[in-house]
Amino acid sequence: MQRRLIATAVLALACSFPAAAAPQPARPAVTTQLPRTAVPRHYDIAITPDAAAGTFAGKVTITLDVTQATDTITLNAADLAFTRATLTPAGGTALAGGTRVDAAAQTAAFTFARKLAPGRYKLALDYTGIIGTQAVGLFSLDYATQDGKKRALYTQFENSDARRMIPSWDEPFYKATFTLAADVPAAEMAVSNMPVKSRTTLPDGRVRIAFGQSPKMSTYLLFFGQGDFERVTKQAEGTELGVVTRRGGSSQAAFVLNESAAILKEYNDYFGVRYPLPKLDNVAAPGRSQFFGAMENWGAIFTFEYAMLLDPAISTQHDRQEAFATVAHEMAHQWFGDLVTMAWWDDLWLNEGFASWMENRMMTRLHPEWKTALNVVSVHDRAMLRDSVATTHPVIQHVDTVEQASQAFDDITYQKGESVIRMLENYVGDAAWRDGVRAYMQKHKYGNTVSNDLWASIEKAAGKPVKSIAHDFTLQPGVPLVRVGAPVCTNGDTTVLLTQGEYSRDQPARKPLAWQVPVVAQTLGATTQARTVVAKGQATLTVPGCGALVVNAGQNGYYRTLYSPQAFDALSVQFGRLAPVDQLGLLSDSWALGLAGLAPVDNLLDLAAGTPEGAEPQVLGKVTDIFMQIHALYGADSPRRQRFDDYAIARLAPVLARIGWDADSGEAETVATLRADLIEALGAFGHAPTLGEAQRRYLALQREPGSVPAALRQPVMAVVARNNDVPGWAALRVAAKTEKTPMVKDQLYMLLASAEDRGLSERALELALTDEPGATNSAAMVREVARHAPELAFDFALANMARMNTRIDESSRSRFFPSLAAASGDPAMAGKVQRYAAANLAEGSRRDAETAVAEINDRIKVRQDRLPEIDRWLLRHAK
């Protein structure tokens, strides 16, 4: 799955609002592991959706093997009502079963009059179920068109929601084959994992569409979609690649379709096992989810439009890269996840860490001009932010319940998983890593694995031990800190002592955990790197050359680097000569260590001040991003914030002036992204010329939609919407209401929620809970308000919890409310989040709430301790 990016690092204005939430009873913990007495082999499913009524009828015949004598067969079912259950032994007569549904455990048990001997049976079930409006189970999405509102159906089953459409052994371990048939309106298209095998017209005018039999796979990978669709295709590598969109959308799918062909070729080679299905569709859907952006259903990837379609009138360079990243991620899952699947959610990172790593690897290979190799540092930043508070968890973790499985889709599973893979690949070499992956795919295809299966294949291919390092980084939580002593130059070589500690934001006094840390170091100007593994707490490393010493050269290691003052000063004065990726690494480490009080914040401010004008756009983008964070840290403290904003403007306005508002023909694509970031940042800092120019272009856009290039449309609208006044907001709302293009409509509602004015924020919250924005925009609007007014948004959501809950995916609820509060720096909020968790969340499902509390407490501490340091630096550097 690809997650939506939740910007917990974005800080916001402090304001407070009294809570009025009535406590709800704690939800039961749903343990998902079924009794291991029967194993499904094949599901033959027929469904008849009634899209208008929001219900469906289903029939399934499950071929299964009873493995231990029992009189009861228990499987998963949620919100299903059974009307018939029969069990037929091979060669025998049908037995009628009694049905017992346990809604809390999400199971249905069928009990028979006699004990069932081990052997083959067919279980036939008739039932009815619900079509929801949020992206779980079988669900509908409504969208505007020129011809009025339309409704399409889709499914979303990861992690544990196949049970909402099919009574099933809904655990990744139980792989089986599937055949699916659906009765749909004759004018509509239906899509599933496999191609259509037959179409039969029914007496009532509908058609029965039967799909071919799937390969052996887990339930969470099954897909069904139905609607007024169109499909474009392309042949590649003997596979039919398709993109399915709502009618009229396929012209925006050319980029993804073409890129899919190039990616498929790469993956067939890399994995050494060819893509095994006859077709691979990518199904684009309007709307959004709070939980995910895309899903890797085998042969039928599901992606929300905003993460896939490129509308020439509105899409930016950033959108283009996101579309590529999403399709590369989901296609990597066709192997890592679909062909070979983790045995249980404990090892979810095998799916997600790998797909995330592959997505960045593919961008670097197929689009070197995007310079995404530099993204490695922002991947570390996200992982380490989450991994440096006490509520973190190991990459491989124990999962008991459906809710815990949902919570496992986080920055540790994705970004730390990706970082660990990158570090280990760098440690064994890319050829050995690839050979290990190929052997693993070959050995485990159509099966299930645990992490040690991967380490065994890699170790064999690499011919050197990997497992114990891998265990250090996946079985224990946290971020190593490598302290770099004073470098000593002797006979043209640099010798330095490296000491391992731990980078923690809330447990500074704790004895550090121990890791074996693979370290790569290089001196400035040298061509050879030195490598070592820091084990048992320290290592002495000799590095060729005597220039400034870069530790974690290339930034492939998962650790923070803390230089001695002497080593840091040598790097600082030569900053412009470092490789761009190491410039990013030094900025990132200096900022993180400065915030944690492990190094002076001055280090970061000096580096940002000294970043050359001609630095890579991503390096200047990093400085911009850190300045935005500092701006938010000052919160509502106007005079101090003003002093910082003035400095940030003086530093960044010349960068925007140099690259200009309008793209030069032939400029690097990375410049386009920097331009958008600068416009938004300078707008936030209150830079009058930027605000004026944004306003001028916004008015031009109203008069003539084509007058502002697509690349500037989003940043211009973001600046204006953020500073909106009452008449401007009202006009934007009219535009949103009348807009007929779903993707544009969604954006406009999000812009309504981005206005920083208190009264407009309140109006946006009220609007979010009406039917106007559409069922899937509500939660996203509340979250958008939370970016600048977390206390307001949290209190509002809690006060309206029942209405709010109908507009959030069920799997996201335990994370949604805490996520609203996470950007707060108000001491009262920590207690509010704790009270919310105690009243509403099962004890084992409070990690997201506890993490939000840790973030709030950290922000309070940072404001108290670090902002005075920044104040002093600014005074010293005042013009």
Residues that bind Zn ion in the complex, under the rule CB under 5 A = 1, 352, 355
Contact between 47 and 69 under an 8 Å Cβ cutoff? The reply is no
**At closest approach, how far in Å is the CB of 218 from Zn ion?**
14
Comparing CB distances to Zn ion, the nearer of 1 and 578 is 1
- DSSP calls for 590-657: HHHHHHTTSS-HHHHHHHHHH--TTS-HHHHHHHHHHHHHHHHHHTT-HHHHHHHHHHHHHHHHHHHH
**At closest approach, how far in Å is the CB of 188 from Zn ion?**
29
**At closest approach, how far in Å is the CB of 408 from Zn ion?**
12
Q: What is the DSSP letter of 413?
A: I
Comparing CB distances to Zn ion, the nearer of 330 and 616 is 330
Q: Residue 246: beta bridge partners?
A: 229
Token pair recorded at residue 106: 């999400």
Q: How many CA atoms lie within 13 A of 351 on its CB side?
A: 30
Comparing CB distances to Zn ion, the nearer of 1 and 432 is 1
**At closest approach, how far in Å is the CB of 411 from Zn ion?**
13
Comparing CB distances to Zn ion, the nearer of 4 and 687 is 4
Comparing CB distances to Zn ion, the nearer of 302 and 370 is 302
What are the angstrom distances between the C-alpha of 502 and each of 516, 536, 602, 737?
Answer: 12, 13, 22, 52
Question: Catalytic annotation on 330?
Answer: yes
Token pair recorded at residue 459: 């170790």
**At closest approach, how far in Å is the CB of 136 from Zn ion?**
17
Comparing CB distances to Zn ion, the nearer of 319 and 352 is 352
Distance of alpha carbon 27 from alpha carbon 837, whole angstroms = 11
Determine the Cα angle at 463 with ends 460 and 465, to 5°: 90
**At closest approach, how far in Å is the CB of 239 from Zn ion?**
20
**At closest approach, how far in Å is the CB of 851 from Zn ion?**
21
Q: Where are the beta strands (DSSP E) in 424-508?
A: 447-449, 479-484, 488-490, 493-503
Distance of alpha carbon 103 from alpha carbon 121, whole angstroms = 26
Token pair recorded at residue 153: 């159906």
Distance of alpha carbon 263 from alpha carbon 355, whole angstroms = 13
Q: What is the DSSP letter of 815?
A: H
- Chain position carrying tokens 């331009």: 675
* Cis, peptide link before residue 426, omega less than 30° from 0: no
- DSSP calls for 345-394: GGGHHHHHHHHHHHHHHHHHHH-GGG-GGGGHHHHHHHHHHHHTSTT---
Distance of alpha carbon 250 from alpha carbon 230, whole angstroms = 7
Distance of alpha carbon 173 from alpha carbon 340, whole angstroms = 11
Comparing CB distances to Zn ion, the nearer of 263 and 355 is 355
- H/E stretch holding 544: strand 538-544
**At closest approach, how far in Å is the CB of 306 from Zn ion?**
17
**At closest approach, how far in Å is the CB of 417 from Zn ion?**
10
Residue 671, burial from CB neighbour count under 10 angstroms (0-12, 13-18, 19+): middle
Distance of alpha carbon 234 from alpha carbon 753, whole angstroms = 39
Comparing CB distances to Zn ion, the nearer of 178 and 292 is 292
Q: What is the four-CA torsion angle of 315, 318, 319, 320, rounded to 10 degrees?
A: 100
* Three-class SS state of 875: helix
Distance of alpha carbon 772 from alpha carbon 263, whole angstroms = 39
Kindly give the residue spans of alpha helices, DSSP state H, lying in 206-276: 254-271
**At closest approach, how far in Å is the CB of 350 from Zn ion?**
11
**At closest approach, how far in Å is the CB of 326 from Zn ion?**
9
Token pair recorded at residue 550: 């870069």
Residue tagged active-site, from 330, 502, 693, 855: 330
Comparing CB distances to Zn ion, the nearer of 352 and 606 is 352
Contact between 648 and 594 under an 8 Å Cβ cutoff? The reply is no
Distance of alpha carbon 807 from alpha carbon 773, whole angstroms = 11
Comparing CB distances to Zn ion, the nearer of 355 and 389 is 355
Comparing CB distances to Zn ion, the nearer of 352 and 502 is 352
**At closest approach, how far in Å is the CB of 847 from Zn ion?**
20
Cα end-to-end span (Å), the chain: 50
Comparing CB distances to Zn ion, the nearer of 332 and 852 is 332
Report the catalytic residues: 330
